[in-house]
């Protein structure tokens, strides 16, 4: 997840891995993912909508809502971790899911270092 990208893109890879690309491309499922993300951003983080944007590098989502914390401006810095999306994901993971995420990150680091 990078600054200026909707947080739901964080879940694309995992969703595709779990149910397959064809099932993940279901319009109703993608809309539900957007609604759930909106609910979490608003109620759990107190984030506000910062507009929408096209998504160019995601396998599932073509557009989505940008979120920001109250009092902050929309910032676009590609390649920089989005603390809002990261906090949203980490804060709501169960201990088991956090362990699974940690293992996936370790595996990705090992893959990149080969």
Encode pLDDT of 34-77 as tens digits. 888 888 888 887 888 877 888 888 888 888 888 877 777 655 54
The whole model's pTM is what?
A: 0.55
Residue extents of the structural domains in the chain: 7-70+77-113
Bigger pLDDT: 2 vs 109: 109
Does residue 86 carry a pLDDT above 80? no
Confidence of residue 14 (pLDDT cuts 50, 70, 90): confident
Classify residue 4 as left (phi > 0), alpha (psi -120 to 50) or beta: left
Residue 59 near residue 21 (C-beta atoms within 8 A): yes
CA distance 114 to 107: 11
Rounded-to-integer distance, Cα 58 and Cα 8, Å: 10
Strand partners, 68: 48
Res. 94: pLDDT tops 70 = yes
pLDDT at 61: 87
């Amino acid at each position: 997840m990078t600054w200026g990208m909707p947080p739901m893109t964080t879940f694309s890879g995992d969703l595709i891995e779990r149910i397959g690309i064809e099932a993940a491309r279901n319009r109703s499922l993608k809309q539900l993912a957007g609604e759930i993300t909106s609910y979490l951003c608003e109620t759990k983080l107190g984030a506000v909508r910062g507009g929408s944007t096209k998504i160019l590098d995601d396998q599932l989502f073509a557009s989505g809502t940008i979120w920001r914390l109250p009092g902050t401006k929309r910032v676009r810095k590609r390649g920089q971790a989005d603390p809002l999306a990261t906090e949203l994901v980490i804060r709501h993971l169960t201990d088991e899911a956090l362990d699974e995420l940690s293992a996936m990150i370790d595996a990705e680091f090992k893959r990149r270092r080969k």
